[in-house]
Chain A
Amino acid sequence: MELIFFYILAGILVTFSILTVTAPNPIRSAVYLISALLSMAGLFFLLEAEFVGAVQVLVYVGGIMVLFLFVIMLVNVREMETQRRASRHWKTAVVLGVVLSSELIFLVVRGADIFSTEGIGSNLIVEAQTRNTESVGSLLYSTYLLPFEIASILLLVAMVGAVVLTMKEK
């Protein structure tokens, strides 16, 4: 049952990813990417990461991708549609893609053997199954307190930067 779900989601994910990459127009790309991100959230749920799955939907789809769509509307899309897509890289990209994925998958599968024998480092909070959000929260405010604080500086820089860049001259 789980496996069927996985294959359905994986199928959707790969299809929409390829569509995102090949779409001739950024609006379509964005919509395909949104679908891909939603099925990614489904995979997160399947992996019992409920909180991250919810954040994926809220932040990625609801925040980042909406921002993308806004910007696409803001810049002149009509003109972009007529622009040619560089087709000279097509074959290279496909060959590269196939070679790279097979290599990566080979390495990953070989490397992931360790998981079949023993679970290393299964020493941290194992109560994940029951109260995911709560455990994520307490971890975020204990071990990962400093990165959490630092992330706020990062967001501040990004906010200031975006404003400074787009501010029009008075």
Chain B
Amino acid sequence: MIPVTHYLALAAILFVIGTCGVILQRNVLTMFMCIELMLNAVNLTFITFSRFLNQLDGQIFVLFVMTVAAAEAAVGLALIVILSRRADSLDVDQANTMKW
């Protein structure tokens, strides 16, 4: 059997890649996709623990995470659509009518 650390390390790498993506990317859509990648890393962690703890709860959590991801996607993409209607740009640096 593959050691648990392999899976957890892989998930950690994916999570960090996603985090860096959010910091690095300036396009709202891609930033959002990076967040999805982070959520997937979390899912992998859950499934791994579920497998190695020998209980199913972890898999149930993943289902809930997916539900939430779908809900967030619906609302987030709606917001992005109206942003593009108004601003013609999805660059977060240009969304600066207010000072940070």
Contact = CB atoms under 8 A, between A and B. Distances in A.
A–B touch (CB < 8 A): the answer is: yes
Interface of A: 2-3, 6, 10, 13-14, 17-18, 20-23, 26, 29-30, 33, 36-37, 40, 43-44, 46-49, 51-52, 55-56, 59-60, 63-64, 67-68, 71-72, 74-76, 79-80, 83, 85-86, 89-90, 92-94, 96-97, 100-101, 104-105, 108-109, 112, 115, 119-126, 128, 132, 135-136, 139-140, 143-144, 147, 151, 154-155, 157-159, 161-162, 165-166
Nearest to A30: B33
B30 to A, nearest CB: 5
Given A55-B66, A68-B73, A162-B74, A101 B24 contact: no
Interface of B: 1-2, 4-10, 12-21, 23-27, 29-30, 32-34, 36-37, 40, 43-44, 47-48, 50-57, 59-60, 62-64, 66-75, 77-82, 84, 88-91, 93
Contacts, number: 237
B66 A26 contact: no
What is the predominant secondary structure among interface residues of chain A facing chain B?
helix
